[in-house]
Amino acid sequence: MDEPRTASRADLLVLGGGMAGLSAAARAAGHGLRAVLVDCAPDLGGSARYAGYLWTAATPEVMAEVNPGGSPELRDTVVAGFPAALDFVRDLGVDLGSAVPVLRYGIGHRVDTGAFVAACRRRVAGAGEILLGVRAERLLTHSTGRVAGARIVTADGTRKDIIATTTLLATGGFPADPDLRAEHVHPQARDIAARSNPWSTGDGLRLATAAGARITNSGGGFYGHLVPAGVHLTPELYVEAALYYSEHALLFNLAGERFVDESLGDHLTTIALVEQPECRGLLVTDARGHRDRVRAPYVAGGPANDKFELARRRGARCVVAGSAEDFAHVPPEWGYDGPRIAAEIARLASGGRPHPPRSVLPRLLDEPPYYVVEATAAITFPFAGIDTDGHGRVRSSGGGVIDGLYAAGADVGGLYRNAYAGGLAPAVVLGLAAADAARERAHLPPGTAPH
């Protein structure tokens, strides 16, 4: 078999065309560097196309409070780098909305991710190269261990080498790979839906580990949302079907028990549901919750639709119960302990103390009728991934960093542990860090030939 030929040379090779990869490639182009961006998808954008807000915790102290198990180094990097990330987006000519509160502890801006993708595409194409429908087979390394690019495989099976001074892994994590979800999220996560692009199947993780990188934060949770059980989740439903209002509701497992403080946020309730039998539960709110929350936008200025009605139209198990006593008659085929749920709702409505306590939003359901949706979990990206430092440099399994190799976006593990404070902001911040490092490394001597 013929040896792969050198397809291109780059100051920065970016594997992955989502928010992180596009940020890095566009920033590198702005530095006057040659960036080559490779993605296995037929188009750019990754899962960022389904997102709408660029946000993070308001201060480092708030980030530490809401995300105590996350990497302090990464936490501080994201918060400190957020203003510069906003400036970068504006410099691309992409409008940002006014600052709005997100999840009580965050601050963010609505962003047109489609416009962001288009702006980055123009900047990169004008100074570098974009290769779509191409998969990276392995990283190239020097005898010193320094990463020097990657071997790619085109759609027709042709293998080519891209030689690069700096290489960035930004492939979107592994939300679309059931085996990796089962290994690094939870065994029951194997069967949950992915509300992400279908091409994020762990390529970055595999490339990194083959080059000696360390994986971190296995079992640390994931970002996702509750969605109606039994509804086929397609991209146009990623936002519309998400049951964001769960923090204003009660969630019961098959045994008829509450098992989580729902008021902390839908993202945390979703993580907790994955650990429950069959990863499903009954989400219950009352007339006030339906009126004020189910039909309202989750973030100020965002889209509003009736989540309950949408779930019912899509064939989910949805009912309106006239009273707490009606829960005693949950259909047996649903599998829930209805009498226990009825007793608990009645007890709470009459002033009983909730367990687990509702720490943030103590209001209980006391205005019938009750709106019930059977819910399950859907994952956008996992919190396990490649171990990096605060500059995005990939750490090796033996200690130290792997020279020339960076990671950003959902490929990075450890930023969050059973907590969440935004996905787009960390992607942009670490993507920019990789591009800035590439500028510093652009004049490094080539060294020995990669292999």
Run of H or E including 5:
strand 5-15
Please classify residue 209 by burial: count the beta carbons closer than 10 Å to its beta carbon, then call 0-12 exposed, 13-18 middle and 19+ buried.
middle
pLDDT digit string, tens, across residues 211-234: 999 999 999 999 999 999 999 999
pLDDT digit string, tens, across residues 277-311: 999 999 999 999 999 999 877 666 666 689 999 99
pLDDT digit string, tens, across residues 148-205: 999 999 989 999 999 999 999 999 999 999 999 999 999 999 999 999 999 999 999 9
- Classified as helix, coil or strand, 217 is coil
Q: What is the pLDDT of residue 305?
A: 80
* 110 and 134, same domain (yes or no): yes
Which of 136, 151, 188, 124 lies closest to 3 in space, CA to CA?
151
Residue 266 lies in a domain: yes
Residue 352 lies in a domain: yes
Q: Can you spell out the DSSP letters for 75-106?
A: HHHHHHHHHHHHHHHHHTT--BPPPEEETTTE
Residue 321: what are its φ and ψ, rounded to 5°?
Answer: -100, 130
CATH classification at residue 49: 3.50.50.60
Residue 109: what are its φ and ψ, rounded to 5°?
Answer: -135, 135
Q: Which domain holds residue 169?
A: 5-219+383-441
**Of 379, 406, 426, which one is at a domain's C-terminal end?**
379
Residue 435: what are its φ and ψ, rounded to 5°?
Answer: -65, -40
Which of 227, 184, 441 lies closest to 314 in space, CA to CA?
227
pLDDT digit string, tens, across residues 36-77: 999 999 999 999 999 989 999 999 999 999 999 999 999 999
* 153 and 201, same domain (yes or no): yes
Percent residues over pLDDT 90 in the chain: 88
Residue 448 lies in a domain: no
Task: Taking residues 131-158, report their average pLDDT.
Answer: 94
pLDDT digit string, tens, across residues 261-274: 999 999 999 999 99
**Of 328, 357, 379, which one is at a domain's C-terminal end?**
379
Residue 446 lies in a domain: no
Please classify residue 33 by burial: count the beta carbons closer than 10 Å to its beta carbon, then call 0-12 exposed, 13-18 middle and 19+ buried.
buried
Residue 447 lies in a domain: no
Q: Is the pLDDT of residue 357 over 50?
A: yes
Euclidean distance between the first and the last CA atom of the chain, given in angstroms as a whole number: 16
* 398 and 371, same domain (yes or no): no
CATH classification at residue 333: 3.90.700.10
Residue 408 lies in a domain: yes
* 174 and 313, same domain (yes or no): no
Please classify residue 77 by burial: count the beta carbons closer than 10 Å to its beta carbon, then call 0-12 exposed, 13-18 middle and 19+ buried.
buried
Task: Give pTM, 2 decimals.
Answer: 0.94
The DSSP 8-state label assigned to residue 4 in this structure reads P
* 49 and 192, same domain (yes or no): yes
Going by pLDDT thresholds of 50, 70 and 90, the confidence category of residue 447 is very low
Sequence-distant (≥ 6) Cβ neighbours of residue 84 within 8 angstroms: 429, 432
Task: List the beta bridge partners of residue 9.
Answer: 163
Residue 37 lies in a domain: yes
Task: Taking residues 430-443, report their average pLDDT.
Answer: 95
* 60 and 152, same domain (yes or no): yes
Residue 118 lies in a domain: yes
Q: What is the pLDDT of residue 2?
A: 52
* 422 and 336, same domain (yes or no): no
* 147 and 275, same domain (yes or no): no
**Of 360, 379, 398, which one is at a domain's C-terminal end?**
379
* 343 and 406, same domain (yes or no): no
- Domains held by the chain: number: 2
* 229 and 211, same domain (yes or no): no
| DSSP-derived pairing of the beta strands 370-382 and 280-286 | antiparallel
Please classify residue 311 by burial: count the beta carbons closer than 10 Å to its beta carbon, then call 0-12 exposed, 13-18 middle and 19+ buried.
buried
The DSSP 8-state label assigned to residue 354 in this structure reads P
* 170 and 56, same domain (yes or no): yes
